[in-house]
């Protein structure tokens, strides 16, 4: 009951703090950190069960790293090995040398302690940085991949640092044996994960997904996440790294987007507790007494780490704008691994208590500044380094694809003959020459949600009209069958933001929702309109009574089964009486216009 009270107080306080800070455009993450500072032992001491809060925070980190893993795959991660090896090693080694030298010459002339201080300052806060990149859909951009690779290298380097720390104090019995054992364990673990992803997890998730039970899918996803995280802990790695591996395993299947959407609500709550728990470690009295020194250390840390980040990105021969974005993204210090490393240093006698408080203060301040620094760096790049005139062709393409999509829909209902020569011209002008690639973003395309008979007909029309499209479908059997046919299809519930992002929904020109379930259609229509205010949304419903609500939720056009069936029957009846086709067309057009006016 105590933990329930503590969590309620912390999250309740965070709501008040974030609502106040939102008025001055302070990022939500900073609000959680400030909540922790105010609620912690150094503030108003609102909670007593600090250990239970730390446990919930660890779950948050596990879920966060799990969702990061879902955005990649083992193959994609291997593509980043050069970036991690070069950029990561330059960033980590250079930071250790610079901060160890500063510590040695300005107060701590004991080389092991100075080196250990270099260790803890070499690490950036991956939880904060990756969350910002996730929120801005930049994980798969060039700078996003480089930042991620450097962060992964940092996290793996923590294991080596924890092994080297006892050796620096002479307490390790056989450091080389420990290193060899760790390498063997990690090698076996990676091999086991590759085999598991290929032969077990994908088949298991297919059997779970075909039941169409969301509860079962969520349960299976959570069990896989925590089971793999638990197994990796036996190899000497952290639970968070294990969760990242679990995400990689599921990313090898077609169910990663649905898994991300299922986990999202849990992840957001638990990661909020993590950020609050970081703030709770801060001693306000220490901050008040030493704020001039802390400000100086913050400025020094951000400046030096940014410069080192620039050098690491420069070693990879990246463009100027990417160098800037990478450097300013890794300029903070402190994450969950840093604090674990601090404990190891304290146990080994290398971490004086005053250094811990200084490090904690610098960590919290730099972590709090990170979202703002990253936003400013992004704006700086757009305004000064990427001065491009807007391409008018994009607007033409948007309008063109919108018209072409309406052609495709008409092709389904009226027949291919209606298009005549226009169809051939459109097909030749707009045919997609390259197959759909999940790693490359689509633009000005059509998203088809639901791949029943209606969705298949619309896809066929789009294909013949040369319109780029992608399908979102929740039936695992359909997805498996269509993937084998090389259809551009992703598995998942389109009500989840992550699933829609996988279809590049924010860049789509037209979205066609073909589902027959009104509840799901309402949720999806609302979500699509929120994510893409400019998309032309076509919705299928069963009853006329649902048209008004769908339009209120953001649909531009609503096609009603009930209404279209009536018109078709009316048309057939008139044809039986030999009414001319032109007159039938005019009458149908009049009925449609009357219906729109009555709406």
pLDDT in tens, 536-587: 998 988 777 778 888 888 888 888 876 667 667 777 777 776 778 888 777 7
Closest C-alpha to 135, from 488, 470, 506: 506
Over the Cα atoms of the chain, what is R_g? 28
| 287, 361 Cβ separation under 8 angstroms | yes
- Rounded (5°) CA angle 200-243-481: 35
**Residue 220: how many other CB atoms lie within 10 Å:** 22
Tokens of 490: 């992703």
Structural domain includes residue 34: no
Measured CA to CA in angstroms, residue 316 lies from 14, 201, 309 at distances of 41, 35, 11
In this predicted structure, which of 48-52, 249-253, 308-312 has the lowest mean pLDDT? Answer: 48-52
Across the chain, mean pLDDT equals 77
Residues 244 and 117 in one domain: yes
Tokens of 171: 């307490």
Q: Is the pLDDT of residue 428 over 70?
A: no
Q: Is the pLDDT of residue 448 over 60?
A: yes
Q: Is the pLDDT of residue 599 over 80?
A: no
Q: Is the pLDDT of residue 92 over 90?
A: yes
CA atoms within 13 A on the CB side of 127: 33
| 100, 115 Cβ separation under 8 angstroms | yes
Measured distance CA(573)–CA(585) in Å, rounded: 13
Measured distance CA(7)–CA(236) in Å, rounded: 30
Residues 408 and 341 in one domain: no
Measured distance CA(423)–CA(403) in Å, rounded: 12
Sign of the dihedral defined by the CA atoms of residues 370, 374, 375, 380, in that order: positive
Measured distance CA(26)–CA(343) in Å, rounded: 31
What pLDDT score was predicted for residue 233? Answer: 75
Tokens of 6: 């503590």
Residues 396 and 381 in one domain: no
Tell me the longest C-alpha to C-alpha distance in the chain: 103
Structural domain includes residue 101: yes
Q: What's the structural domain count of the chain?
A: 2
- Rounded (5°) CA angle 391-393-398: 115
Structural domain includes residue 38: no
Tokens of 321: 């704008």
Share of the chain above pLDDT 90, in %: 11
What pLDDT score was predicted for residue 562? Answer: 67
Banded model confidence at residue 171, pLDDT cuts 50, 70, 90 = low
Mean pLDDT confidence for 81-103: 90
Structural domain includes residue 472: yes
Measured distance CA(539)–CA(524) in Å, rounded: 10
| 364, 33 Cβ separation under 8 angstroms | yes
Banded model confidence at residue 11, pLDDT cuts 50, 70, 90 = confident
Measured distance CA(570)–CA(17) in Å, rounded: 61
What pLDDT score was predicted for residue 593? Answer: 65
Structural domain includes residue 514: yes
Measured distance CA(27)–CA(51) in Å, rounded: 27
Measured CA to CA in angstroms, residue 233 lies from 165, 173, 222, 227, 254 at distances of 19, 22, 17, 10, 27
What pLDDT score was predicted for residue 101? Answer: 93
* Segment 309-363, tens digit of pLDDT: 999 999 988 888 888 899 999 998 977 667 767 767 777 778 777 788 888 889 8
Measured distance CA(478)–CA(491) in Å, rounded: 9
Banded model confidence at residue 178, pLDDT cuts 50, 70, 90 = low
Banded model confidence at residue 424, pLDDT cuts 50, 70, 90 = very low
Residues 373 and 400 in one domain: no
Looking at the chain, how many residues does it have?
599
Structural domain includes residue 24: no
Residues 405 and 539 in one domain: yes
Measured distance CA(121)–CA(96) in Å, rounded: 7
54: Cβ contacts below 8 Å, ≥ 6 apart: 277
What pLDDT score was predicted for residue 439? Answer: 47
What pLDDT score was predicted for residue 591? Answer: 66
Q: Is the pLDDT of residue 90 over 90?
A: yes
What pLDDT score was predicted for residue 175? Answer: 61
Mean pLDDT confidence for 275-287: 80
Tokens of 552: 């209120």
Banded model confidence at residue 181, pLDDT cuts 50, 70, 90 = confident
Residues 377 and 446 in one domain: no
Domain holding 421, by residue range, is 392-598
Mean pLDDT confidence for 451-464: 86
What pLDDT score was predicted for residue 48? Answer: 66
Residues 346 and 412 in one domain: no
CA atoms within 13 A on the CB side of 18: 17
Sign of the dihedral defined by the CA atoms of residues 66, 70, 73, 79, in that order: negative
| 327, 384 Cβ separation under 8 angstroms | no
Residues 353 and 479 in one domain: no
Sign of the dihedral defined by the CA atoms of residues 558, 560, 564, 567, in that order: negative
* Segment 52-72, tens digit of pLDDT: 777 777 787 787 778 777 766
Measured distance CA(539)–CA(379) in Å, rounded: 36
Mean pLDDT confidence for 141-155: 85
Residues 453 and 483 in one domain: yes
Structural domain includes residue 142: yes
Measured CA to CA in angstroms, residue 289 lies from 157, 293, 358, 361 at distances of 34, 9, 11, 12
Q: Is the pLDDT of residue 381 over 50?
A: yes
**Residue 324: how many other CB atoms lie within 10 Å:** 22
Closest C-alpha to 343, from 158, 114, 100, 104: 158
The domain boundary residue, chosen from 385, 410, 426: 385
Measured distance CA(197)–CA(187) in Å, rounded: 16
Residues 479 and 517 in one domain: yes
Place of tokens 């789009």: 462
528: Cβ contacts below 8 Å, ≥ 6 apart: 447, 494, 500, 505, 511, 513, 535, 537, 554
Residues 472 and 356 in one domain: no
Whole-structure pTM value: 0.60
Which SS3 state, helix, strand or coil, does residue 397 take? helix
What pLDDT score was predicted for residue 300? Answer: 94
Structural domain includes residue 319: yes
Which CATH number goes with the domain that contains 99? 1.20.1530.20
What pLDDT score was predicted for residue 312? Answer: 93
Q: Name the burial class of residue 534, with classes exposed (0-12), middle (13-18) and buried (19+) by CB atoms within 10 angstroms of its CB.
A: exposed
Banded model confidence at residue 519, pLDDT cuts 50, 70, 90 = confident
Helices (H), 470-533: 476-484, 497-502, 518-531
Measured distance CA(120)–CA(404) in Å, rounded: 56
What pLDDT score was predicted for residue 165? Answer: 77
The domain boundary residue, chosen from 353, 385, 417: 385
For residues 329-356, one letter each, b for 16 or more C-beta atoms within 10 angstroms of the residue's C-beta and e for the rest, the string is bbbbbbbbbbbebbebbeebebbeeebb
Measured CA to CA in angstroms, residue 225 lies from 201, 234, 393 at distances of 11, 15, 45
Residues 374 and 413 in one domain: no
Which CATH number goes with the domain that contains 473? 3.40.50.720
Hey, which of 129-138, 220-229, 263-272 has the most confident mean pLDDT?
220-229
The domain boundary residue, chosen from 358, 385, 412: 385
Mean pLDDT confidence for 403-417: 44
| 205, 253 Cβ separation under 8 angstroms | yes
Measured CA to CA in angstroms, residue 64 lies from 77, 330, 391 at distances of 17, 18, 37
């Amino acid at each position: 009951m105590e933990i329930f009270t503590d969590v309620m107080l912390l999250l309740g306080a965070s709501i008040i703090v974030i609502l106040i800070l939102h008025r001055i455009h302070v990022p939500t993450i900073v609000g959680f950190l400030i909540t922790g500072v105010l609620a912690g032992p150094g503030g108003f001491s609102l909670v007593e069960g600090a250990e239970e809060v730390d446990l919930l925070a660890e779950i948050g980190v596990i879920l966060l790293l799990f969702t990061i893993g879902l955005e990649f795959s083992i193959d994609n991660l291997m593509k980043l090995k050069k970036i991690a090896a070069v950029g990561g090693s330059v960033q980590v080694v250079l930071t250790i040398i610079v901060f160890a030298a500063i510590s040695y010459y300005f107060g701590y002339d004991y080389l092991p302690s100075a080196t250990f201080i270099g260790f803890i300052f070499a690490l950036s806060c991956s939880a904060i940085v990756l969350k910002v990149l996730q929120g801005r859909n930049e994980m798969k951009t060039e700078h996003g991949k480089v930042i991620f690779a450097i962060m992964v290298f940092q996290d793996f380097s923590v294991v080596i640092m924890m092994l080297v720390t006892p050796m620096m104090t002479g307490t390790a019995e056989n450091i080389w044996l420990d290193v060899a054992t760790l390498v063997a364990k990690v090698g076996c673990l990676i091999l086991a994960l590759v085999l598991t992803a290929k032969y077990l997890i994908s088949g298991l998730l297919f059997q779970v997904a075909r039941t169409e039970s969301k509860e079962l899918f969520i349960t299976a996803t959570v069990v896989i996440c925590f089971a793999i995280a638990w197994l990796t802990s036996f190899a000497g790695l952290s639970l968070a790294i294990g969760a990242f591996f679990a995400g990689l395993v599921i990313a090898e299947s077609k169910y990663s987007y649905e898994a991300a959407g299922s986990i999202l609500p849990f992840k957001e709550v638990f990661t909020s507790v993590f950020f609050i728990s970081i703030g709770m470690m801060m001693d306000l009295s220490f901050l008040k007494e030493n704020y001039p020194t802390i400000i100086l250390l913050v400025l020094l840390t951000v400046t030096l780490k940014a410069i080192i980040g620039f050098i690491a990105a420069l070693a990879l021969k990246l463009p100027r704008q990417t160098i800037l974005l990478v450097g300013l993204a890794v300029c903070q210090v402190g994450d969950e691994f840093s604090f674990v490393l601090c404990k190891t240093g304290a146990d080994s006698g290398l971490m004086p208590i005053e250094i811990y408080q200084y490090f904690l203060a610098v960590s919290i301040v730099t972590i709090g500044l990170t979202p703002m620094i990253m936003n400013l760096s992004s704006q700086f790049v757009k305004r000064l380094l990427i001065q491009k005139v807007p391409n008018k062709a994009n607007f033409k393409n948007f309008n063109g694809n919108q018209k072409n999509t309406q052609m495709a829909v008409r092709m389904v209902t009226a027949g291919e003959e209606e298009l005549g020569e226009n169809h051939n011209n459109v097909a030749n002008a707009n045919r997609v020459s390259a197959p759909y690639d999940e790693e490359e973003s689509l633009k000005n395309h059509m998203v088809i949600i639901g791949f029943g008979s209606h969705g298949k007909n619309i896809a066929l029309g789009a294909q013949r009209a040369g319109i780029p499209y992608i399908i979102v479908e929740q039936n695992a059997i359909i997805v498996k069958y269509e993937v084998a046919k090389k259809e551009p299809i992703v598995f998942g519930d389109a009500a989840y933001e992550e699933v829609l992002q996988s279809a590049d929904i924010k860049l789509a020109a037209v979205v066609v929702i073909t589902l027959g379930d009104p509840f799901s259609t309402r949720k999806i229509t609302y979500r699509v309109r929120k994510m893409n205010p400019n998309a032309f949304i076509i919705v299928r419903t069963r009853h006329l009574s649902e048209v008004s609500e769908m339009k209120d939720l953001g649909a531009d056009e609503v096609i009603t089964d009930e209404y279209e069936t009536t018109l078709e029957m009316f048309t057939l009846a008139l044809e039986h009486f030999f009414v001319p086709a032109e007159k039938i067309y005019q009458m149908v057009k009049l009925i449609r216009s009357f219906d729109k006016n009555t709406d």
